[in-house]
């Protein structure tokens, strides 16, 4: 369900908003681009990435698309400058970084800067990274202790790079219900996506939903690869089989929206049609699967398929050509394996291994 929020009615003045965005990688660059494209004339956006070239590329891209808003976009070269080098206190600072340690580092720097430069208002930190729940909870508690008026909310996303590019991401956040999501937060999230899912009142609920969903994706993707290899061994026409699956009980995102068989949906420009380039790469799927299984252990939840799936993804990611391509490449990889005497032989590398 998508919530929409009108910034102002005809009888009320325009409200100014100041946004910060940290992390302009594969996902972040598109998320920040949508904020830039949808800003009101009175808004401002401040951006930072640890790779200066990424920041420069972002600025060049978005200002060509919307040159009239160029004066509203500002680049920063250090985290503390989101506090010290802005025209007014930022309303929101979004982070999209690789791991929990990076989230903790970013927010710690921000908290220190705000403590050294006290503000009269409050800022909300939104973290859309996919990290472990305990680290996110720790960061949340640190923010509430050091800056009680501020907030840190986990807002991980689903939709991948394609969803970020199109502005159709789904946001999962630690709020009990839609009524608990502030209108200005709704507006910001709807700049970048189309769905907002409150997942629970306790901090970390958004991440819990994200990890549960991506655990399902990882396991389903492995099953889809296995199924299509089975169909291939039976001599079936795989394009026809894929269409059958799309309207049958085996239908899933991995079998249709990210079908691993080339040529089935050429109109959708799927990774399978370009050598599994782009998309949601295997090593990121592995990362989320490892996070999900680790967190399951911390919450005393036994996962019956998790340990096996984890071993397969870890093994696949030992090959860079598999780890750096879309997760649909597992279909291709399983076709390169041969079982001998209880072991698997990778025909491309001649390596033998057990899983």
Among positive and negative, which fits the CA dihedral 207, 209, 287, 342? positive
The pLDDT value recorded for residue 341 is: 86
Distance from the Cα of residue 279 to its chain's centroid:
12
Name the domain count of the chain.
2
Q: Indicate whether 25 and 93 sit together in one domain.
A: yes
- Which of 202, 188, 70 has the alpha carbon at shortest distance from 123? 188
Q: Which of these three, 187, 202, 217, is where a domain ends?
A: 202
Q: How far apart are CA 249 and CA 333, in angstroms?
A: 25
Mean pLDDT of 321-349: 95
Query: Per-residue confidence at 10, pLDDT binned at 50, 70, 90?
Result: very low
pLDDT at 262: 97
pLDDT in tens, 86-142: 999 999 999 999 999 999 999 999 999 999 999 889 999 999 999 999 999 999 999
Which pLDDT belongs to residue 7? 39
**Residue 125 and residue 70 share a domain:** yes
Where residue 174 falls among pLDDT bands split at 50, 70, 90? very high
Quick check: 132 and 101 in contact, CB under 8 A?
Answer: no
The CATH number that applies at residue 57 is: 3.40.50.720
Helix, strand or coil, per DSSP, at residue 32: helix
| Closest to 24 measured CA to CA, from 6, 48, 41, 4 | 48
- 111, 146 in Cβ contact below 8 A? yes
* 210 touches 172 (CB < 8 A): yes
Same domain, 197 and 227: no
Indicate whether 179 and 212 sit together in one domain.
no
For residues 99 and 237, state if they share a domain: no
Q: Say what the pTM is.
A: 0.89
Q: What percent of the chain has a predicted confidence (pLDDT) above 70?
A: 95
Residue 345's beta-bridge partner residues? 338, 352
pLDDT in tens, 24-51: 998 999 999 999 999 999 999 999 999 9
Range of the domain at 191: 16-202
Residue 262 corresponds to which tokens in the numbers above?
A: 């080339």
- The answer to whether residues 51 and 130 belong to one domain is yes
Structure tokens at 308: 């096996």
């Amino acid at each position: 369900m998508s919530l929409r929020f009108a910034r102002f009615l005809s009888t009320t003045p325009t409200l100014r908003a100041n946004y910060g965005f940290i992390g302009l990688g594969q996902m972040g660059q598109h998320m920040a681009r949508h904020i830039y494209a949808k800003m009101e004339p009175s808004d401002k956006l401040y951006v930072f990435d640890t790779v200066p070239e990424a920041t420069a590329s972002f600025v060049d891209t978005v200002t060509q698309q919307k040159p009239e808003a160029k004066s509203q976009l500002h680049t920063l070269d250090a985290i503390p400058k989101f506090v010290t080098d802005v025209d007014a206190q930022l309303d929101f600072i979004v982070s999209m970084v690789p791991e929990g340690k990076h989230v903790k580092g970013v927010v710690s720097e921000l908290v220190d800067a705000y403590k050294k430069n006290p503000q009269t208002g409050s800022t909300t930190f939104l973290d859309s990274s996919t990290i472990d729940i305990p680290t996110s909870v720790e960061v949340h508690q640190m923010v509430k202790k050091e800056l009680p008026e501020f907030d840190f909310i986990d807002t991980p996303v689903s939709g991948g790079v394609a969803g970020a590019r199109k502005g159709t991401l789904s946001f999962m956040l630690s709020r009990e219900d839609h009524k608990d999501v502030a209108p200005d937060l709704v507006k910001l999230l709807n700049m970048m996506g189309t769905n907002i899912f409150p997942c629970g009142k306790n901090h970390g609920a958004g991440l819990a939903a994200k990890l549960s969903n991506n655990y399902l994706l990882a396991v389903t993707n492995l099953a889809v690869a296995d199924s299509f290899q089975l169909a291939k061994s039976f001599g079936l026409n795989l394009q026809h089989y894929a269409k059958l699956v799309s309207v049958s009980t085996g239908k899933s995102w991995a079998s249709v929206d990210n079908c691993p068989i080339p040529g089935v949906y050429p109109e959708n420009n799927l990774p399978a049609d370009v050598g599994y380039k782009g998309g949601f790469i295997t090593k990121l799927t592995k990362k989320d699967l490892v996070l999900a299984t680790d967190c399951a252990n911390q919450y005393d939840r036994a996962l019956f398929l998790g340990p096996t799936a984890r071993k397969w993804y870890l093994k696949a990611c030992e090959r860079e050509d598999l780890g750096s391509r879309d997760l649909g490449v597992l279909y291709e990889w399983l076709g390169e394996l041969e079982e001998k005497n209880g072991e698997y032989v990778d025909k491309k590398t001649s390596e033998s291994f057990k899983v």
